[in-house]
Amino acid sequence: MKKQVTITAEPINEPALLAQRAMSQGMGAAVCFLGVVRGTEGNANISALEYEVFQRMAEHQINLLLDEMAKRWPIESVRLVHRVGLVKVNEPSLWVEVVAPHRGEAFAACQCLIDELKRAVPIWKKPVKGDP
């Protein structure tokens, strides 16, 4: 399984990521997920989220998750981009793409990866109120 993991303070360039998609002829599904910063956190309005990461461990833990995914599903590739630092409301903080032969395994693997990321990858977010 090909994997590409990027943790960056730069904005997520979705068009560029989509343009770089590569799928072999046996693949029939590409599932993409875009996580976007909401304007509310609990009951409070916010203007941004400030993401903090333990980078070395985050990259290691994501790679462990991807290795587990490769054992469960016949996935050809996973690309994951997580933004850190200040991310304003309506801007994406997470982009995930899973390429697999069929939609069932692509959806399942993508859902699993995001659930596990929220459980195990050392990234934290702090709401920012007022002008970011």
Partner 1 sequence: MRVTVCFYSYFKDLTGCARTTEELTGGSTLDDLFRALVVRFPRLGTMRKATLMAVGVDYQSRTYVLREGDEVSLFPPVQGG
* 93 is a contact residue toward partner 1 (CB under 8 A): yes
Cβ atoms of residues 76 and 27 within 8 Å: yes
Name the amino acid, one letter, at 97: E
Number of residues counted as binding partner 1 (CB under 8 A): 23
| E strand residue ranges, the chain | 2-8, 29-36, 40-41, 44-45, 48-53, 77-83, 85-88, 92-100, 123-128
Residues 35-74 that bind partner 1 (CB under 8 A): 35, 51-52, 54, 56-58, 60-61
Q: What's the CA gap between 40 and 34, in Å, rounded?
A: 18
Please report how close the Cβ of residue 60 comes to partner 1 at its closest, in angstroms: 4
User: Of 87 and 99, which has the nearer Cβ to partner 1?
Assistant: 87
Structure tokens at 33: 């997920």
Stretch that binds partner 1, among 9-17, 71-79, 98-106, 111-119 (CB under 8 A): 111-119
Q: Which residues bind partner 1 (CB under 8 A)?
A: 35, 51-52, 54, 56-58, 60-61, 82, 93-94, 114, 117-126
